[in-house]
Amino acid sequence: MPVLDDAKEVVNIIKKVGNPDAVILFGSIAKEAMGKDIDLLIIGNKREEKKIARSLYPFFQKYSLDTFFVSKKTLKEMYYRESPFLRLIQKEGRLLYMHNSLKDWYDSGLEDFRQAEYLCEGGFYRGACFSCQQAIKKFIKWILLKKGWELEKIHSIRRLVVIAEKFEIHVPLQDEEMDFIDSIYKGRYSGEEGASAT
């Protein structure tokens, strides 16, 4: 039965062979650190898919391994279509590798912020609020990662602010502002179990 360390070993091979943008573990091992198989979402250049698959042959002899390969473009399309598969990844996934992770977190946060400004100017306030919530979350995570924090799947701004305080980082948000920002995410994914807890 594979465990989390086995998944990390597989990811080490993937990043050496295929130089992916990111690798996300999901399924039972992501949730419980052990399971029947290793489920990985690999984000990268589709031209690398066959090379990565060949490099993983030795692991297929040890345990069940399911890899799903998508490009950044496809991932963005899935996000905007609110793909159920991607929602599952967002809910239970665990990031095991990200190329240029600090720069990507900052750039992604900046993109969300600019999108929020654009949507606000057009009168799309609900979408602007969600993009702003995403930007705040990513900027706080970017600062934490610079301080050596180990990335966790957290959507709650309040929880991120508490973690930031442990790293002696002051985030200038009042309680009512954090409550409002967190309500945006909870409102968008109100049907998701545990949305309010993460």
pLDDT band at 191 (very low <50, low <70, confident <90, very high): very low
Q: What is the pLDDT of residue 197?
A: 33
Q: Do domains 4-98 and 101-187 have the same CATH topology?
A: no
Give the separation between CA 186 and CA 169, rounded to whole angstroms: 25
Q: DSSP states of 52-112 as a string?
A: HHHHTHHHHTTSEEEEEEE-HHHHHHHHHTT-HHHHHHHHH-EEEEETTHHHHHHHHHHHH
| Residue for token pair 């002696």 | 168
CB 141 within 8 A of CB 151: yes
What is the per-residue pLDDT for 188?
A: 63
The per-residue pLDDT for range 94-104, each reduced to its tens digit, is 888 888 778 88
CA–CA dist 4, 34 (Å, integer): 6
| Domains of the chain by residue range | 4-98, 101-187
Residue showing tokens 């589709």: 46
In this prediction the pTM is 0.58
CATH class for domain 101-187? mainly alpha
Topology of domain 4-98, per CATH?
Answer: Beta Polymerase; domain 2 (3.30.460)
